[in-house]
Amino acid sequence: MYRNFKFNIISSFEKARVGVLKTPHGDIQTPAFIFCGTKASVKGISPKQLIENETQVILSNTYHLLLYPGADHIRERGGLHSFIGWKGPILTDSGGFQIFSLGHGSVADEIKGRRSGISALLKIDEDGALFRSYRDGALQFLTPEKSIDTQRNIGANLIVAFDECTPYHSDKKYTENSMERSHRWEKRSLNEFIRKNDFSQALYGVIQGGVYEDLRKRSAEFISENPFFATAIGGTLGSTKTQMYEVVEMAMNGLDISRPIHLLGIGGISDIFRGVEIGIDTFDCVHPTRIARHGAALVKKNGTREHINLKNTMYAQDDNPIENDCNCSTCKGFSRAYLHYLLKANELLAFPAITIHNIKFMNKLMGEIREGIQNKTLDIVREKWC
């Protein structure tokens, strides 16, 4: 069923593991970070620059591509790899995350327990979800079958079953009913996937169950019992860091750990170490690339911040690179003072320059984590990075 895909665990240290996820578009050395190219582009960065900075795999959002330019348009251009000029592995999500998070406020806010907002989601029923396009207000109805068909047309290597991303402010009853419906949707996703399987794609199942241990366990068992290629941990992870780690650990119970395990939407440095330690193989988050566009550069060992804000006046005369031990083109070519100036002068170059550093930073972090697992020195690696 997944004959062109394989996941080999080549080394492990306690629950952490180093693996190779083989796809028709190349191998991913895990643990790996997946960079967000939300609208078919990692903002401001070309595939050439992604490769120069050791990027292995990127993610695009089905929700955005469905609305524009449309999955058929991408298929007619030869699929997403050909359309965007990226030859490596690509993951697309199911579209559910954006529909439901936009349904409950701005993306990501609600599932992280922050605030509620204006609804773009009109109706959820057994069949699927009715929502309005953020582009033109047109009605859109997304079902498990439509999500899989859309992801087929887009043509990523790694695709995700359609689920409801349960918000944080849901009671247990709602969360349980939603999880059960998500399971039925994921089963339909799997059936649709199998019906048209051409061996170019592999399907992830998603664990739901909110912050409830018994639900997370049931969901993990459901995913493991069905022939998904890999597992993603989705839904709310609670409203605090402590709760996040608890919920992720709950979701790991009852899971088939021979499959790759992806943690959706997490990208902080210390969070990645925690995730790796409990057995997560891949992570994605807009964080490294998004904060770059606000002038924030990732740095090692900066207390709880994990970055410096180059807009700060203290960097106006700082002739050092972002990091002295970084060999990205930004750190080789530019000082903090120049990056500060570019940001203050509204010069476009600031955004790709800082983004490049943050991409290289994340890829170096993941490389050292892999070495740390293999050498059983993960604690020393963590001590260096956060």
> Which 151-210 positions form the footprint of a second copy (CB under 8 A)?
none
> Which 63-92 positions form the footprint of a second copy (CB under 8 A)?
68-69, 73, 76-78, 83-85
Angle at 346 between CA 345 and CA 347, to 5 degrees: 90
Q: Is 235 in the site for a second copy (CB under 8 A)?
A: no
Site string for a second copy, 16-45 (x = CB under 8 A): -----------------------xxxxxxx
Q: Is 290 in the site for a second copy (CB under 8 A)?
A: no
In this structure, what are the phi and psi dihedrals at residue 325, rounded to the nearest 5 degrees? Answer: -95, 15
Using an 8 Å Cβ cutoff, are 360 and 328 in contact?
yes
Which class for 30: exposed (0-12), middle (13-18), buried (19 or more C-beta within 10 A)?
Answer: buried
Q: Is 347 in the site for a second copy (CB under 8 A)?
A: yes
Residue 136 annotated to the active site: no
- Position among 265, 279, 352, 372 found at the interface with a second copy (CB under 8 A): 352
- Position among 333, 375, 379, 380 found at the interface with a second copy (CB under 8 A): 333
Residue 355 CA to residue 338 CA, distance in Å, equals 15
Which of 33, 154, 144 lies closest to 83, judged by CA? 154
Q: Which stretch binds a second copy (CB under 8 A): 46-54, 119-127, 141-149, 213-221?
A: 46-54
Q: Is 112 in the site for a second copy (CB under 8 A)?
A: no
**C-beta atoms surrounding 371 within 10 Å:** 14
Using an 8 Å Cβ cutoff, are 357 and 328 in contact?
yes
In this structure, what are the phi and psi dihedrals at residue 207, rounded to the nearest 5 degrees? Answer: -85, 125
**C-beta atoms surrounding 377 within 10 Å:** 15
- Position among 59, 148, 202, 353 found at the interface with a second copy (CB under 8 A): 353
- Position among 126, 136, 171, 319 found at the interface with a second copy (CB under 8 A): 319
- Position among 18, 58, 99, 342 found at the interface with a second copy (CB under 8 A): 342
Residue 164 CA to residue 198 CA, distance in Å, equals 26
Residue 379 annotated to the active site: no
Residue 22 CA to residue 9 CA, distance in Å, equals 11
Hey, which residues are catalytic here? Answer: 93, 284
What is the binding site for a second copy (CB under 8 A)?
A: 39-48, 68-69, 73, 76-78, 83-85, 316-317, 319, 329-330, 333-335, 337-338, 341-342, 344-345, 347-349, 351-353
